[in-house]
Structure 1
């Protein structure tokens, strides 16, 4: 483990159906916007395949430390994505933060 590094994961289900342009746009735009924020490392878009989990997708990213994670959360591009896209297009979600 890297002392202080954080892996942030958000697993979620979208209001739009899988394999629609709305879903593809959300995942594509999320990756483009969020991965460009300074301090974001190893950004991934994930598709859930387990029958034991109700969520459909995930965003995973790493931060060098708590300060980088805090800067990401407060970044205007992150806040705009949450307000304009996440809050309107996500039906349900769970956030998980691990020390790595």
Structure 2
């Protein structure tokens, strides 16, 4: 039987990645809660976004990207594993 707890240890801290994911969504002009309520984003897609963020290994680059943002308009970093989905949801 597969040990799911041991597998999850290899992924990044879930709370850090939830914060990063939501910060990138905000930079893209996306309200993830509203997108879920509207049916444009489902729970499985959201879970996949979080998991791919946790496993991507780009959290430092992402945090730097977020902190360097100024009022440049909606954007998503190209290295983001969920960039395509974010771009689809952008207003």
- Common fold by TM > 0.5: no
Instruction: Report which of the two has the higher share of strand.
Output: 1
Q: What TM-score, normalized to structure 1?
A: 0.32
Instruction: Report which of the two has the higher share of helix.
Output: 2
